[in-house]
Amino acid sequence: MATETQQHAIDTMLLEERRYEAAPDFARQANAQPEIYERDWQEFWETEGRERVTWFEPFTELYEWNPPYAKWYLGGKLNVCFNCVDRHVEAGRGGQVAYYWEGEPEGERREIRFADLQRDVVRFANALKGLGVRKGTPVAIYMGMVPELPVAMLACTRLGAPHTVVFGGFSAESLADRMNDMECEVLITQDEGWRAGKTVPLKRNADEAVANASTVKKVVTLRRTGNDVPFDESRDVWWHEAVDGQSADAESCPCEPMDSEDLLYLLYTSGTTAKPKGIIHTTAGYLVGVAATHHYIFDVKPDSVYWCAADVGWVTGHSYIVYGPLCNGTTGVLYEGVPNYPNPERWWEIIERYKVDILYTAPTAIRSHMKWGPEHAQKHDLSSLRLLGSVGEPINPEAWVWYREHIGGDRTPVVDTWWQTETGMILITPLPGITTLKPGSATKPFPGVDAAVYSENGQTVGPGGGGYLVLKRPWPAMLRGIYKDDERYRETYWSKYEDVYFAGDGARVDEDGDFWLLGRVDDVMNVSGHRISTIEIESALVDHKKVAEAAVCGRKDERTGQAIVAYVTLKGGDEGSIDMLEELRNHVGTKIGPIAKPANIVFTPELPKTRSGKIMRRLLRDVAENRALGDTTTLADPTVVEEIKERAATEAPEE
Ligand code: PRX
């Protein structure tokens, strides 16, 4: 056992045996046909590169790999905005809707056609030019989910100005850090945002940030709520005044021809140290990667209405709300607010109204809907849905099945897509119509992608064993490094194994070659010498009919090294009891084995989550070990963790 444990790096114990074959009628019409897996990987990316995007000058070399740095589509010239906007209008599709936008306050709706998008982007790009933005000028964007957010991003790409979008929920300090690192010269923001019926003080935060970011010379502010906000005449410009009188003619602001490897954007992601990492994405490989994956994985059709319910401030929004879908000329939905405003029916109303056929969201949102109950979805006609997607965290099998049954009418495929800010595009995923689906498994590497699971010492782990997820060859949308920090880039991703990308996630591969993601390596616990991942225990807990959500972490234990602590939210607001605690411990014991029984269970009405919906196990570990709480600024609701602390203190001690 000991040697096996060493060899596998992580023990995996939870078995999920439900299978969903592809339906023949879906398979027949699917964008991806089985031969896709037989294609030579270089031929695949070469063809995608040539056909998926329009080039001003064709590329001459597919890729160059000087580990750990890759270049793709060398020698090519293209423009992202041209591919996402202008070429669709030129092809006569200007009348097609690019975004159906729903504001959070009820009844606020806009339809933005591709021709409208072109007009708005050209006018705003002309306005930015007037403010001194040129090819290479770094621009920061700090906005809510309004149509002007993609407009601002596209205007930057039109001019060849790299952007960094900072999620509107981040603080002034986070914004300043990012602007300083990128040396941004212009900031685009809005007066306020809407979130859960309340206003978010974006301009005030922006002002506070700019006070500590001396490179920023101009601030463009969109009027959204119309409430009074501070305004500095010498530095600030209103969006509506800046575009006033600007030409909307595409010729007045031609798309800048960019080199394939020119910087497209930086997106900052948190790491183990306080300083966020500026993940570098460049032009051609990124665009080809996101457009190709979007086409095959979401099976988008010319008449699709596709809704990725993430925030544009995260990589999911960059790749699968803005660049991938627009490059493919897809009609999308953009929703400004939270899923339960004014009530938990909001999403289902939106799907019914626009006849959405593809929905892409995160496990945390799915579990929230589970908690609110299926009756909200039942009140709406969701029969337009053809495909569901999940991203951001491992999805518990119970949540997967709930999603398919209650949202997908027990007919739609569910694609569980694994990727990262760093990977730029989806890398491990089912292809609908081909793949036999397994709840909880992201299944297979995307065509052209080479993934594996390695042991501690770099050996491939066989079926059933747990280890570390690695990527063995470069892919077009991969990060080109960490901005201004070569050493950290090498250290974080390329030092554990030679010339192989270390993703930092645990995984196992089963007998069919399907991947099961086990969460971040930091979330692995060591109980009596067994390295157990949190996701398997959480999934066993969520499998219990009374449990809505669960988060698990380890705490120090003299006897077993670490002991398992679970935080559980019950359905229907149930408070929990000692009996329930015992029932859940036994349930985990039956599903996985006695070793996985939590030593303690804390019942709580909410779990601490980041604003992108990830459970913050680091804070739960602080609570479990009775330590002062670490940084809580990235929490969506900081009060949650205080409440958990109180409950943990009054919880029954372990046996
Ligand atoms: O741990 C994995 C988890 O999210 C991490 C990447 O987070 P971020 O850069 O914020 O990007 C999120 C959106 C792409 C990964 O290292 N993760 C993401 N998708 C999945 C996942 N874990 C399991 N299954 C997934 N489908």
pLDDT digits (tens, 9 = 90+) for 500-539: 999 999 999 999 999 999 999 988 999 988 889 999 999 9
Q: Is the pLDDT of residue 652 over 50?
A: no
Residue owning the nearest CA to atom 7 of ligand 1: 420
For ligand 1, the distance from its centroid to the CA atom of residue 127, given in whole angstroms, is 37
pLDDT at position 2 is 39
Could you tell me where in the chain the CATH 3.40.50.980 domains are found? 114-256
Q: Is the pLDDT of residue 122 over 80?
A: yes
* Average pLDDT of the residues in 406-415: 98
Within 13 Å of residue 398, how many CA atoms lie on the same side as its CB?
23
55 lines ligand 1 (CB under 6 A): no
- Which has the minimum average pLDDT: 37-46, 73-82, 558-567, 631-640? 631-640
pLDDT at position 529 is 84
538 lines ligand 1 (CB under 6 A): no
pLDDT digits (tens, 9 = 90+) for 302-353: 999 999 999 999 999 999 999 999 999 999 999 999 999 999 999 999 999 9
Instruction: Check: CB of residue 93 under 8 Å from CB of residue 114.
Output: yes
- The atom of ligand 1 lying closest to the CA of 535 is 23
The model's pTM is: 0.93
442 lines ligand 1 (CB under 6 A): yes
Could you tell me where in the chain the CATH 3.30.300.30 domains are found? 544-650
418 lines ligand 1 (CB under 6 A): yes
Q: Is the pLDDT of residue 485 over 70?
A: yes
**Gap between the Cα atoms of 581 and 587, Å rounded:** 10
Backbone angles phi, psi at 452, to 5 degrees: -155, 170
Task: Assign 336 to helix, strand or coil.
Answer: coil
Q: Is the pLDDT of residue 163 over 70?
A: yes
Task: Assign 283 to helix, strand or coil.
Answer: coil
pLDDT at position 653 is 44
Owner of token pair 């140290």 = 273
361 lines ligand 1 (CB under 6 A): no
- The atom of ligand 1 lying closest to the CA of 310 is 13
For ligand 1, the distance from its centroid to the CA atom of residue 517, given in whole angstroms, is 9
505 lines ligand 1 (CB under 6 A): yes
**Gap between the Cα atoms of 295 and 85, Å rounded:** 17
pLDDT at position 635 is 79
Task: Assign 352 to helix, strand or coil.
Answer: helix
Q: Is the pLDDT of residue 91 over 70?
A: yes
For ligand 1, the distance from its centroid to the CA atom of residue 389, given in whole angstroms, is 13
493 lines ligand 1 (CB under 6 A): no
Furthest CA-CA distance within the chain: 74
Q: Is the pLDDT of residue 271 over 70?
A: no
Of 12, 367, 391, 612, the residue with max ligand 1 atoms within 8 A of its CB, to mutate for a pocket test, comes to 391
Say which CATH topology domain 114-256 has: Rossmann fold (3.40.50)
317 lines ligand 1 (CB under 6 A): no
* Average pLDDT of the residues in 4-14: 72
The pLDDT mean for the chain works out to: 94
206 lines ligand 1 (CB under 6 A): no
**What sign does the dihedral 5-9-12-17 (CA atoms) show?**
negative
pLDDT at position 594 is 87
- The atom of ligand 1 lying closest to the CA of 395 is 24
Residue type, 2: A
For ligand 1, the distance from its centroid to the CA atom of residue 393, given in whole angstroms, is 5
Q: Is the pLDDT of residue 257 over 60?
A: yes
For ligand 1, the distance from its centroid to the CA atom of residue 419, given in whole angstroms, is 5
pLDDT at position 21 is 98
Scored b (16 or more CB within 10 A) or e, 113-150 reads bbbbbbbbbbbbbbbbbebebeeebbbbbbbbbbbbbb
534 lines ligand 1 (CB under 6 A): no
* Average pLDDT of the residues in 60-65: 98
Compute the chain's Rg from CA coordinates: 24
Scored b (16 or more CB within 10 A) or e, 208-242 reads bbbeebeebebbbbbbbbeeebeeeeeebbebeeb
DSSP string, 128-182: HHHTT--TT--EEEE--S-THHHHHHHHHHHHT--EEE--TTS-HHHHHHHHHHH
Q: What H or E segment, with its residue span, contains residue 639? A: helix 639-650
171 lines ligand 1 (CB under 6 A): no
Q: What CATH number should be reported for the domain whose range is 544-650? A: 3.30.300.30
Backbone angles phi, psi at 240, to 5 degrees: -65, -30
For ligand 1, the distance from its centroid to the CA atom of residue 417, given in whole angstroms, is 8
Q: Which residues pair with 102 in a beta bridge?
A: 109, 335
Cα-based distances in Å from 343 to 107, 254, 276, 502, 639:
14, 44, 35, 41, 22
Within 13 Å of residue 188, how many CA atoms lie on the same side as its CB?
31
Q: Which of 127, 266, 239 is nearest to 184 (CA)?
A: 266
Residue owning the nearest CA to atom 15 of ligand 1: 420
Of 364, 414, 420, the residue with max ligand 1 atoms within 8 A of its CB, to mutate for a pocket test, comes to 420
pLDDT at position 640 is 87
